[in-house]
Structure 1
Amino acid sequence: MYQSTRDSGVAVSSAQAITQGISADGGLFVPQSIPELTNEEIKALLPLSYVERAKAVLAKFLTDFTKEELDACVSGAYAPGKFDDESVAPLAEIAPGVYMLELWHGPTCAFKDMALQMLPFLLTTASRKTVGDKTIVILVATSGDTGKAALEGFKDVDGTKILVFYPQDGVSPMQKLQMTTQEGGNVGVCAIKGNFDDAQTGVKAIFTDEAVAKKLKQHGMLFSSANSINWGRLAPQIVYYISAYCDLVKEGKVTLGDPINIVVPTGNFGNILAAYYAKSMGLPVAKLICASNSNNVLTDFLKTGVYDRNRPFFTTVSPSMDILISSNLERLLYDLSGRDDKKIRGYMESLAKTGRYEVDDAIKAKLNALFCAGFCDDTATKETIGETFQSRGYLCDTHTAVALHVYEQYVADTGDKTPTVIASTASPFKFSASVLDAVAKEDVTGMDEFSKVAELSRCTKLEAPQALASLKDKAVRFEDVCTKDTMERVVLSMLGIS
């Protein structure tokens, strides 16, 4: 059963949690208890494929799904041909004991595919159990990658509609093209004047608006979410950290039971929260290293216990991390507070009213024991891309470079040489202008996006993913722009509701 972070008295099944997306009180759903993963169970996973490991791990969290239902969801998500690497999430060793967990081999070339190829299967299965034949309306705020991955996952899925909002000037040209050219009869895309936090705040407000929910109900519709506020998005992300550990043990890189560190570039705190849940299950993880760009609200919080979004917002070369309100942090705080819903409500009310809150000393101590944190600016990001390619022959994108730079800072500060997995979150070709500038120092002024992709491919001798190259010939379908205040009107209009 699943509780709300803002009302521990809520108790819903995993199917209900996935269908709703967010609790009616504005809280996020979390399991009442974290299932255990023993060393013997990890050992049993070693010879299995990624698909079989995913079935085993998710079965612990989605206990109201039958074995046949779960088999269909996982096998559908990772069907042959959907990912361009048969191992789905391969590891690349870039230095002794340092491994890139490549999470971008799916159809949109970003880590969001790992969960968003599965969420449509989970959601349609869950909705059949809970709401029957109602149309599920997926409402998404995106800082770049979630939007395209969700659109691709839900494209023409029966019984669903999906509407995506993205910051007008806060995504890369390739990310924008991926969304605005999206095919499918049940999809809608709109830019918003503002940043990701504006889009996310607007989406949350619409979600919890009773008047809007009533209008949808009259038309046989209800909202759900594809953002990582939805447990169905977060649960599949736990799998790849467990699978990566299995691969390291299987290949003799670590001994079963020995710890690893995990480094994650994060903005909304979902990807690193999945690593925290894997650790909570029993995966041998020593330190969780949280990497931020210049929007370093998480770095400051993990070091001081003070969350303060009252600061300048930076538009960076790692746009998917340009976030100052990290929604999934609420789930972590609920866990670390001993599931004190009153305390969490207080923190979230303070954040909404004043833009800040400070956790108590007990939570600060737990944060310090679990996490290390660091950040890097655009200059250091590009330097890391260039140096890593020149010295190691490995090309990484702007978000992965943030994680690598923060990891190198961590090692310099601590001397810790524990085997480390770094979450590599996107193909470098999604951010070709910045990556090209980093590795070739070329003037790209006047070059269109696809010329930059071609030049990056030429100078690195790496092939651009076909999923990106094929966008060149696609027509733009969505050009609308709205404000935070007009998002509700846009949603109803897209759904044909007056």
Structure 2
Amino acid sequence: MSVLYSSTRSDSKKLTASQAILQGLAEDGGLFVPDHIPALEKSMEELAKLSYQETAYEVMKLFLSDFTEEELKNCIAKAYDQKFDTEEIAPLVYADDAYYLELFHGATIAFKDMALSILPHLMITSARKNQIKNDIVILTATSGDTGKAALAGFADVEGTRIVVFYPKHGVSPIQEKQMVTQKGANTCVVGIEGNFDQAQTGVKQMFNDAQLKEQLDAAGFQFSSANSINIGRLVPQVVYYVYAYAKLFENGKIQKDEPINVVVPTGNFGNILAAFYAKNMGVPIAKLICASNENKVLYDFFESGCYDRNRDFILTNSPSMDILISSNLERLIYRICGNDTAANAEFMKSLSENGKYQITDEMKAQLKDFYGNYTDEAGTKQEIRDVYEKTGYILDTHTAVASSVYRKYRKDTDDKTVTVIASTASPFKFTRSVMDAIDSEKYASMSDFELVDELSKIGNVAIPNAIEEIRTAPVVHDIVCEVEEMPKVVKKFLGINE
């Protein structure tokens, strides 16, 4: 049965997967959702024998039902190739009573590579399928990782341009260096004098600007998104939860149909939503453990049923989670209010106008499979140090938030279910924060790249190519703008006169 897509705020228009991928964001500001979540067609015994690429096909063909087998397999083959430094693409590593699902072996050493390696190919295929003549302009806000992964994916891809906005003072030095050294004539990287939520809101406003859309169309362009609001980002993320379960089963770590828990360090809610979709496809996932840093808007939501972004925005050492408007949560809200687009639209209107909304008790009851908690900066540092001292395994700051929350969950519940923790970034991406957590005095005087070498030594892990290539790379992008100047920057990059 084919899967069609409609907006979370109005179901009057049904789109194919390729149309939804191209459009990115619905015209009414809502997010595209599938009309049903398809069930896995292969048994876990069959899935256990498959490679990552074969698993990707089995999952993605169900959601992207207007792609032919040849089209989809071609996209998968181009995405999951030698760009990844491990053959299994997403290996599981056991340390300190949990399985860390390493999602950082791609070109930019963060989990965003898992989806952004394939999105350009899905998008170009979608454009051909729908006879699109305009160049696609990827417009993206990043809290650190999406930006580089999207830039790497779309750089010099014919028929595309990409503009990435990031908070100038809200990403790690390595994250910023990765972005501003990006090559490619079709790329543009812009630091904004503001935070991620302001960048994300600015991008959404440009998507919904009818006049800007007309100007772009006249110049031969149209917007699409590489953020996790794009369904073409979300679907590939479902794959690695299916794959992780199948590998645990294949290796005898769990019995047939034995449930597992999944812990995800969460900012924009896309990664944990993908786990929720995997659960609804038939993967035996018991608890979905949502880990927040000090920007704990999601923890408070799961506790109270009230989503309230009216609070101070805190810059932490896990910057990809420094988010107060978790866009993908809207897809879950839509589902737990009975796919009621009018009700969901009212919640989102309240969020826009008042900065908060309160779900009903009936909706809150449907969140019983989720557990939320958070870790402060001190707890994050402690977790990195503890896991390293106990096992020699080094966590990045985001994975450490998830790992610390998992300890709290175990203490709260005494639940000993086999658990997978989504390890979302390489520790090399946040070297200073990681090394400071391990021994603040010893490493305080070292430069960023001296710390890289030391981390490689004490962790007994090779330095990723993504780090080596930026040691001496020149800065290519040096634009910084105010939030209100974002549309002007985009038009200038595209050569559109004011």
TM range, smaller chain? over 0.9
Residue of structure 1 aligned with 2:24, choices 21, 26, 37: 21
8 A contact 2:20–2:32 mirrored in 1:
yes
Q: Which residue of structure 2 aligns with residue 434 of structure 1?
A: 433
Q: Which residue of structure 2 aligns with residue 329 of structure 1?
A: 329
The yes-or-no answer on 1:392 pairing with 2:394 is no
Amino acid at match of 1:377: D
Q: Which residue of structure 2 aligns with residue 242 of structure 1?
A: 242
The Cα of 1:46 is off from its aligned counterpart by: 1.1
The yes-or-no answer on 1:127 pairing with 2:127 is yes
Q: Kindly provide the CA deviation profile for residues 319-338 of structure 1, in whole angstroms up to 9, marking residues without a partner as x.
A: 00000000000001111111
8 A contact 2:315–2:322 mirrored in 1:
yes
Q: Which residue of structure 1 aligns with residue 70 of structure 2?
A: 68
The Cα of 1:459 is off from its aligned counterpart by: 3.4
Q: Kindly provide the CA deviation profile for residues 63-111 of structure 1, in whole angstroms up to 9, marking residues without a partner as x.
A: 10000000101111002x1100100000001134x20000000010000
Q: Kindly provide the CA deviation profile for residues 92-136 of structure 1, in whole angstroms up to 9, marking residues without a partner as x.
A: 01134x200000000100000000000000000011112422100
Match of 2:157, SS? coil
The Cα of 1:441 is off from its aligned counterpart by: 2.3
8 A contact 1:436–1:442 mirrored in 2:
no
The Cα of 1:446 is off from its aligned counterpart by: 5.2
Return the alpha-carbon distance in structure 2 between the equivalents of residues 275 and 17 of structure 1. Answer: 21
TM-score (norm 1): 0.98
8 A contact 1:51–1:74 mirrored in 2:
yes
Q: Which residue of structure 1 aligns with residue 60 of structure 2?
A: 58
**Greater shift in the superposed pair: 295-304 or 466-475:** 466-475
Match of 1:108, SS? coil
The Cα of 1:443 is off from its aligned counterpart by: 5.4
Q: Which residue of structure 1 aligns with residue 88 of structure 2?
A: 87
TM-score (norm 2): 0.98
RMSD, aligned α-carbons = 1.0
Return the alpha-carbon distance in structure 1 between the equivalents of residues 316 and 496 of structure 2. Answer: 37
The Cα of 1:444 is off from its aligned counterpart by: 4.7
Return the alpha-carbon distance in structure 2 between the equivalents of residues 11 and 122 of structure 1. Answer: 19
Return the alpha-carbon distance in structure 1 between the equivalents of residues 131 and 436 of structure 2. Answer: 50
Q: Which residue of structure 2 aligns with residue 3 of structure 1?
A: 6
The Cα of 1:379 is off from its aligned counterpart by: 0.8
Amino acid at match of 2:309: R
The yes-or-no answer on 1:138 pairing with 2:141 is no
Amino acid at match of 1:393: G
Return the alpha-carbon distance in structure 2 between the equivalents of residues 173 and 443 of structure 1. Answer: 20
1:21-60 alignment to 2 at 5 Å? 21-37=24-40, 41-60=43-62
8 A contact 2:96–2:390 mirrored in 1:
no
Return the alpha-carbon distance in structure 2 between the equivalents of residues 336 and 37 of structure 1. Answer: 22
Return the alpha-carbon distance in structure 2 between the equivalents of residues 187 and 487 of structure 1. Answer: 15
- In structure 1, runs of 5+ residues without a counterpart are none
Q: Kindly provide the CA deviation profile for residues 288-319 of structure 1, in whole angstroms up to 9, marking residues without a partner as x.
A: 00000000000000111000000111100000
Cα–Cα, structure 1 residues 459 and 44, in superposed 2: closer, same or farther, change >3 Å?
Answer: closer
8 A contact 1:19–1:130 mirrored in 2:
no
Q: Kindly provide the CA deviation profile for residues 277-298 of structure 1, in whole angstroms up to 9, marking residues without a partner as x.
A: 0011111010000000000000
8 A contact 2:268–2:327 mirrored in 1:
yes
Q: Which residue of structure 1 aligns with residue 222 of structure 2?
A: 222
Match of 2:471, SS? helix
8 A contact 2:96–2:387 mirrored in 1:
no
8 A contact 2:397–2:434 mirrored in 1:
yes
Q: Kindly provide the CA deviation profile for residues 369-428 of structure 1, in whole angstroms up to 9, marking residues without a partner as x.
A: 120010001111011001100101111100000000000000001000000000000000
8 A contact 1:334–1:341 mirrored in 2:
yes
Match of 2:101, SS? strand
8 A contact 1:46–1:249 mirrored in 2:
yes
Match of 2:11, SS? strand
Return the alpha-carbon distance in structure 2 between the equivalents of residues 443 and 475 of structure 1. Answer: 30
Percent identity reads 53
Return the alpha-carbon distance in structure 2 between the equivalents of residues 480 and 233 of structure 1. Answer: 27
Q: Kindly provide the CA deviation profile for residues 332-367 of structure 1, in whole angstroms up to 9, marking residues without a partner as x.
A: 111111100011110110001110000011111111
**Greater shift in the superposed pair: 131-140 or 23-32:** 131-140
Amino acid at match of 2:487: E
Return the alpha-carbon distance in structure 2 between the equivalents of residues 311 and 122 of structure 1. Answer: 38
The yes-or-no answer on 1:497 pairing with 2:496 is yes
Return the alpha-carbon distance in structure 2 between the equivalents of residues 17 and 462 of structure 1. Answer: 40
8 A contact 1:440–1:459 mirrored in 2:
no
Return the alpha-carbon distance in structure 2 between the equivalents of residues 90 and 55 of structure 1. Answer: 18
The yes-or-no answer on 1:182 pairing with 2:182 is yes
Match of 1:472, SS? coil
8 A contact 1:148–1:178 mirrored in 2:
yes
Amino acid at match of 1:469: E
The Cα of 1:469 is off from its aligned counterpart by: 1.9
8 A contact 1:144–1:172 mirrored in 2:
yes
The Cα of 1:487 is off from its aligned counterpart by: 0.3
8 A contact 1:8–1:339 mirrored in 2:
no
8 A contact 2:31–2:331 mirrored in 1:
yes
Return the alpha-carbon distance in structure 1 between the equivalents of residues 301 and 44 of structure 2. Answer: 33
Return the alpha-carbon distance in structure 2 between the equivalents of residues 163 and 52 of structure 1. Answer: 32
Match of 2:25, SS? coil
Cα–Cα, structure 1 residues 90 and 460, in superposed 2: closer, same or farther, change >3 Å?
Answer: closer
Amino acid at match of 2:90: A
Q: Which residue of structure 1 aligns with residue 409 of structure 2?
A: 410
Residue of structure 2 aligned with 1:77, choices 76, 79, 88: 79
The yes-or-no answer on 1:477 pairing with 2:480 is no
Q: Which residue of structure 2 aligns with residue 252 of structure 1?
A: 252
Q: Which residue of structure 2 aligns with residue 359 of structure 1?
A: 359
Match of 1:491, SS? helix
Return the alpha-carbon distance in structure 1 between the equivalents of residues 265 and 363 of structure 2. Answer: 22
8 A contact 1:292–1:402 mirrored in 2:
yes
The Cα of 1:43 is off from its aligned counterpart by: 2.1
The Cα of 1:495 is off from its aligned counterpart by: 0.8
Return the alpha-carbon distance in structure 2 between the equivalents of residues 194 and 443 of structure 1. Answer: 33
- In structure 2, runs of 5+ residues without a counterpart are none
Q: Which residue of structure 2 aligns with residue 383 of structure 1?
A: 382
Q: Which residue of structure 1 aligns with residue 373 of structure 2?
A: 374
Q: Kindly provide the CA deviation profile for residues 443-491 of structure 1, in whole angstroms up to 9, marking residues without a partner as x.
A: 5555432122123223333322121122011100111111111100001
Return the alpha-carbon distance in structure 2 between the equivalents of residues 279 and 487 of structure 1. Answer: 38
Return the alpha-carbon distance in structure 2 between the equivalents of residues 159 and 198 of structure 1. Answer: 28
1:206-217 alignment to 2 at 5 Å? 206-217=206-217
Return the alpha-carbon distance in structure 1 between the equivalents of residues 442 and 389 of structure 2. Answer: 19
